[in-house]
């Protein structure tokens, strides 16, 4: 009996580890994305990038949730920078090195999601449309936003 309890605890711990590291789940938005990690240098957590997209650009976030099932952080057709989408693997986007800039890394997710949508709709993959969406996201995320609390005292100089 003691052996089964240890096995059960091991499976529970393994389940938590898998969920924490290889899966993004946002039940509020109906978002379920598998995350394939990389052993290459990567400064940012993919979940943090998704949270930035959710907060800064909810429409982009909903598109990611609808059209992306897997984010693979290992280089593929995109090499070590940027990312790529392969029409033969619908729902899978590849994100290369995040280049030390979390906003840019999140914009790459938005860009590659644009290609996933094009692939889903069986359209040609047009870079100009997807670069425009990535740029629009970057403009949105880098605009100044007053994050002070409503009840915080105002300091005069």
- CATH, domain range 20-141: 3.30.2010
The helix/strand/coil state of 145 is: coil
Q: Note the Cα 105 to chain centre separation in Å.
A: 8
pLDDT for the residue 76: 67
108 with 44: CB under 8 angstroms?
no
Gap between the Cα atoms of 139 and 2, Å rounded: 57
Alpha-helical regions (H) of 23-126: 46-56, 58-67, 102-120
**10-residue averages of pLDDT along the chain (157 residues):** 80 76 90 86 79 94 97 72 87 81 89 96 94 93 57 46
Gap between the Cα atoms of 135 and 124, Å rounded: 20
Gap between the Cα atoms of 112 and 132, Å rounded: 12
93 with 113: CB under 8 angstroms?
yes
Ranges of each domain in the chain: 20-141
Gap between the Cα atoms of 152 and 50, Å rounded: 28
pLDDT for the residue 143: 73
- Record the pTM: 0.81
């Amino acid at each position: 009996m003691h052996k089964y309890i240890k096995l059960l605890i091991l499976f529970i711990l393994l389940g938590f580890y898998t969920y924490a590291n290889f899966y993004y789940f946002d039940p509020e938005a109906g978002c379920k994305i598998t995350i394939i990690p990389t052993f290459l240098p990567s400064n940012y957590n993919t979940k943090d990038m998704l949270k930035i997209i959710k907060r800064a650009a909810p429409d982009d976030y909903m598109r990611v949730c609808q059209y992306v099932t897997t984010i693979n952080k290992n280089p593929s057709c995109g090499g070590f920078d940027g990312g790529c989408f392969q029409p033969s693997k619908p729902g899978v986007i590849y994100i290369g090195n995040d280049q030390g800039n979390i906003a840019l890394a999140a914009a790459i997710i938005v860009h590659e999601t644009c290609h996933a949508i094009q692939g889903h709709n069986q359209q040609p993959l047009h870079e100009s449309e997807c670069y425009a969406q990535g740029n629009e996201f970057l403009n949105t995320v880098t605009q100044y936003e007053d994050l002070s609390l409503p009840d915080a005292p105002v300091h005069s100089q």
